[in-house]
């Protein structure tokens, strides 16, 4: 196990430890933008494979692997689409991945999968060339505390820890993470509230005729059809004091991401969308 100041610090250390020179990386066009930033900062060639129905196209990614491919980054559930690839897809994919390729499996939103039997929980595989990333920033609500961890073969973890800063995460962050792991009641309540909020938003988005993507996370991607519609919707919501995220930076310029809030926030958003789309 490697522990850091958020899973993004583990991701950054992994990139520095394993990627050099002519190495190449493959991921999706439409996933966590922090990964793009870190790879580009290292000067490594990055191949982005288009999403297929808002999901990672694992078959196309496997086809793109060559002798220079060093890392494949998968985000499951994917940020910002909320979609997952299932157990069968993952197993088929891993059977095609050469041993020299490190697969980074970012499971930042893992807790929200709610024990879905189709979800390929990486802890059930323990593959030597897979590094799993998890965090306290999402379901645990501790983004400002900055604690994340990576799980993998001891050799992978050893290389990552060699370049890790010596004093991260802080002692207070470690204590907070330990306390969070003991608080099962909080996690149960968080997941229940997310499920209720998700169902409320899905029902009302469908009622309003707003195209959405089924999500296994704590947010919903909506497709508005044009960049102009995204811009006008965003402006109208901001005037009402509501912030949801346009996804141009993710390569999804006609989409927005809605994070599930508390009931009052969800109701305020639905009322605002009803007014905006009525006009």
Count how many domains the chain has: 2
Given this model, what pLDDT does residue 238 score? 98
CATH number at 270 reads 3.90.1150.10
Given this model, what pLDDT does residue 124 score? 85
Over residues 232-267, the pLDDT tens digits come to 999 999 999 999 999 999 999 999 999 999 999 999
**Which run of H or E residues covers position 45?**
strand 45-50
Q: Say which residues have a Cβ less than 8 Å from residue 7's Cβ, sequence separation at least 6.
A: 106, 108, 133, 134, 135, 137, 148, 149, 150
- Shared domain for 176 and 190, answered yes or no, is no
Given this model, what pLDDT does residue 23 score? 98
Q: Say which residues have a Cβ less than 8 Å from residue 255's Cβ, sequence separation at least 6.
A: 80, 221, 222, 223, 224, 230, 246, 247
Q: What are phi and psi of 179, to 5 degrees?
A: -65, -40
List per-residue pLDDT tens for the chain, 279 residues long: 999 999 999 999 999 999 999 999 999 999 999 999 999 999 999 999 999 999 999 999 999 999 999 999 999 999 999 999 999 999 999 999 999 999 999 999 999 998 788 999 888 888 999 999 999 999 999 999 999 999 999 999 999 999 998 889 999 999 999 999 999 999 999 999 999 999 999 999 999 999 999 999 999 999 999 999 999 999 999 999 999 999 999 999 999 999 999 999 999 999 999 999 987
**Alpha carbons 113 and 138: distance in angstroms, whole number:** 12
Given this model, what pLDDT does residue 165 score? 86
Query: Which residues span the domain enclosing 208?
Result: 185-278
Q: Which of 158, 182, 206 is the last residue of a domain?
A: 182
CATH number at 48 reads 3.40.640.10
- Shared domain for 13 and 104, answered yes or no, is yes
- Shared domain for 76 and 213, answered yes or no, is no
Q: Which of 125, 148, 182 is the last residue of a domain?
A: 182
pTM, two decimal places: 0.95
- Shared domain for 198 and 178, answered yes or no, is no
Given this model, what pLDDT does residue 142 score? 96
- Shared domain for 146 and 191, answered yes or no, is no
- Shared domain for 193 and 172, answered yes or no, is no
- Shared domain for 167 and 259, answered yes or no, is no
Q: Which of 149, 182, 215 is the last residue of a domain?
A: 182
- Shared domain for 245 and 194, answered yes or no, is yes
- Shared domain for 124 and 44, answered yes or no, is yes
Over residues 69-112, the pLDDT tens digits come to 999 999 999 999 999 999 999 999 999 999 999 999 999 999 99
- Shared domain for 26 and 162, answered yes or no, is yes
- Shared domain for 170 and 75, answered yes or no, is yes
- Shared domain for 58 and 84, answered yes or no, is yes
């Amino acid at each position: 196990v490697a522990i850091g100041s958020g899973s993004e610090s583990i991701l950054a250390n992994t990139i520095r430890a394993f990627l050099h020179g002519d190495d190449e990386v493959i991921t999706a066009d439409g996933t966590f933008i922090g990964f793009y930033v870190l790879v580009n900062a290292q000067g490594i060639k990055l191949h982005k494979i288009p999403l297929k129905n808002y999901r990672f196209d694992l078959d196309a990614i496997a086809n793109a692997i060559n002798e220079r491919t060093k890392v494949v980054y998968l985000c499951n559930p994917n940020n910002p689409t909320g979609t997952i690839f299932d157990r069968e897809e993952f197993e088929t994919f891993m059977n095609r991945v050469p041993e020299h390729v490190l697969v980074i499996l970012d499971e930042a939103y893992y807790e929200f999968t709610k024990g879905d039997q189709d979800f390929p929980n990486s802890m059930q595989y323990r593959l030597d060339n897979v590094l799993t990333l998890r965090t306290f920033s999402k379901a645990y609500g501790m983004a400002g505390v900055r604690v994340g961890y990576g799980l993998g073969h001891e050799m992978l973890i050893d290389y990552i820890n060699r370049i890790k800063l010596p004093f991260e995460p802080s002692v207070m962050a470690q204590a907070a993470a330990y306390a969070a792991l003991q608080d099962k009641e909080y996690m149960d309540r968080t997941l229940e509230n997310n499920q209720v909020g998700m169902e409320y938003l899905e029902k009302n988005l469908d009622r309003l005729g707003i195209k959405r993507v089924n999500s296994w996370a704590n947010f919903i991607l909506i497709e508005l059809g044009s960049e102009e519609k995204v811009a006008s919707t965003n402006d109208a919501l901001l005037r009402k004091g509501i912030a949801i995220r346009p996804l141009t930076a993710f390569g999804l310029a006609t989409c927005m991401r809605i994070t599930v809030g508390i009931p009052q926030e969800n109701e305020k958003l639905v009322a605002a969308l009803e007014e905006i789309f009525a006009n």
